[in-house]
Amino acid sequence: MCAHSGSENQCDSSIPHPASPLHRTGGSVPRIAEKGSHTGTAPTFPQYLVHHRTGASIVAALGGKKEVMDVIEPGRMAHGGTYCGNVLGTAAAVATLEILENTEALKTIEGRGTQLMEGIHAVLSTAGEEHTLVGVPAMFSFILGLSQPPREFRDLISINVERYELIHAKMRERGIEYELDAKEPWFVCEAHSDADVAATLSALEDSLKEIR
């Protein structure tokens, strides 16, 4: 998830909001909301991730019940990480969380992401492409060669990777860039506009017409 401020994009992936049936992948459902999950369930070992897209760093945190966290101490169990002690990354994460708390960034991301997901579904359906969509509006994927969301890794054996990569190449020619790997998600920023969504869907429609 990304918040936009001036010329900078700040992204947050501390996921916690029930997705609609369109976005369910089978199994646990990612949730996105301010200040984390509000499901009435107290997690034993929650983990959070804040990704700052200005190049500062990625910041992650974990926490849990006292009996779990008390295990981590010098001489008993060590806890380290690539970005431990990164003051710049921590400051960027705080700024990002303040933006998410004080603006409509998450609501904007959900709206634009939903618009993009529904548009991709409509364009692929019109083109007769077998597909399914998985994920939530802030972070989702479309998968070719499957008509139902995968429930385990083995379900991905039959996905149409070659077709996905061909569409990717045609989309790139039209100025739309996303991850080449068919198993990687798309990310939606608050900085993305309605015009960006429209341009993406138009490029997808034209790409499919070209390779039909």
CATH number at residue 127: 3.90.1150.10
Does one domain contain both 140 and 79? no
Give me the number of domains the chain comprises.
2
Question: What is the pLDDT at residue 119?
Answer: 98
Specify whether the CB–CB gap between 29 and 140 falls below 8 A.
Answer: no
pTM above 0.75, yes or no: no
Does one domain contain both 80 and 169? no
Q: pLDDT: is 43 or 183 the higher one?
A: 183
State yes or no: pLDDT of 208 exceeds 60: yes
Best CA proximity match to 60, nearest among 82, 77, 78, 30: 82
Domain boundary among the residues 53, 68, 102 is at 102
Q: Which of 51-60, 151-160, 175-184, 198-207 has the lowest mean pLDDT?
A: 51-60
Q: pLDDT: is 207 or 68 the higher one?
A: 207
Quote the domain boundaries for residue 95: 2-102
Across the range 113-118, mean pLDDT stands at 97
Does one domain contain both 16 and 97? yes
Domain boundary among the residues 102, 128, 148 is at 102
Does one domain contain both 110 and 207? yes
Does one domain contain both 121 and 68? no
Does one domain contain both 177 and 127? yes
Domain boundary among the residues 67, 86, 102 is at 102
Q: pLDDT: is 81 or 130 the higher one?
A: 130
Does one domain contain both 41 and 88? yes
State yes or no: pLDDT of 204 exceeds 60: yes
Q: pLDDT: is 44 or 166 the higher one?
A: 166
CA atoms within 13 A on the CB side of 79: 12
Per-residue pLDDT of 140-154, as tens digits, reads 999 999 999 999 989
